[in-house]
A and B are shown apart, each in its own frame.
Chain A
């Protein structure tokens, strides 16, 4: 509990420092705000987010940026073509991540990455809307899940049902 508060206070203080661009007088408001926000954030839970592994961070950021550019170019080609080359549809994906906050993080990443949109999170399944439902999104989703598991230092459920 206590290390959690300390780490969050440090991160929030860093954020405040960036937002105020190092303005010294702003700490008068910033210090109490940072401490209160850290306490509030601990009481909200979000266990996985306090466990971000610095080893997993570069891998995840690289994957996210690479996939964003690759997917966006593909989507732009499809939507700007004289006749729309899309085939929208839904697919179900079974989540291998167990942790609730990591699952929400994954759903948000799916929505931000081009071509996929997480429509509904239901138990251990997420319903994904695809701009091109003829392609199989599974390999990309697996890679994303693995990167997020490494980011939060979690293990994936590996029973292949």
Chain B
């Protein structure tokens, strides 16, 4: 039962990564593409990690996986913000 749940979570996480990658290719401009990037990190990796955490059935490893998720979220939000801010400054100055 837990194995089935873990597989479902992992597969849906991969699905969101796929949606994010398609978004990255299809979306028209820099800002919209940043949307696709940060969101794959959030929900895609989140579900993937939830699935893996269930799969290990070890509390310490599960906590470590959650920490990895939080670290990726912090890095992803900060880099998206820096890229967007830089692009916006250039646009409004010229």
Could you mark each residue 53-70 of chain B with 1 if its beta carbon is under 8 Å from any beta carbon of chain A, else 0? 000000011011001000
B18-69 contacts to A, CB under 8 A, are 19, 22-23, 26-29, 31-32, 34-36, 38-39, 41-43, 46, 60-61, 63-64, 67
- Closest 8 pairs between A and B when the two form their complex, measured CB to CB: A108-B77, A79-B23, A119-B84, A129-B31, A76-B19, A72-B43, A111-B77, A18-B63
Q: A21-B64, A76-B19 are in contact. Are A84 and B27 (CB under 8 A)?
A: yes
The contact size tier of chain B is 35 or more
Contacts of A15 in B (CB 8 A): 67
Given A79-B19, A80-B22, A119-B85, 8 new contacts (CB under 8 A): A72-B16, A84-B26, A86-B27, A88-B31, A109-B77, A117-B35, A118-B81, A131-B35
- Rounded to whole angstroms, the CA-CA distance of A23 and B43 in the bound complex is 31
Known A72-B43, A112-B76: A117·B64 in contact at CB below 8 Å? no
Q: Residues of B with Cβ closer than 8 Å to A?
A: 16, 19, 22-23, 26-29, 31-32, 34-36, 38-39, 41-43, 46, 60-61, 63-64, 67, 73-74, 76-78, 80-81, 84-85, 87-89
B residues within 8 A CB of A119?
A: 31, 81, 84-85, 87-88
Interface residues on A, range: 20 to 34
Question: Do A114 and B39 contact each other (CB < 8 Å), given the known contacts A18-B63, A21-B60?
Answer: yes
B23 to chain A, nearest CB (A): 4
Total A-B Cβ pairs within 8 A = 100
Most A-side CB within 10 Å, residue of B34, B76, B77, B87? B77
Question: Which residues from B are CB-within-8-Å of A99?
Answer: none
Q: Is the CB of A129 within 8 A of B64?
A: no
* Min distance, Cβ A78 to any Cβ of chain B, angstroms: 9
Cross-chain contact B27 with A118 (CB below 8 angstroms): no
- Which A residues lie within 8 Å of B19 (CB)? 76, 79-80
Most buried by B among A80, A88, A117, A121: A117
Which residues in A have their C-beta under 8 angstroms from that of B32?
86, 88, 129, 131
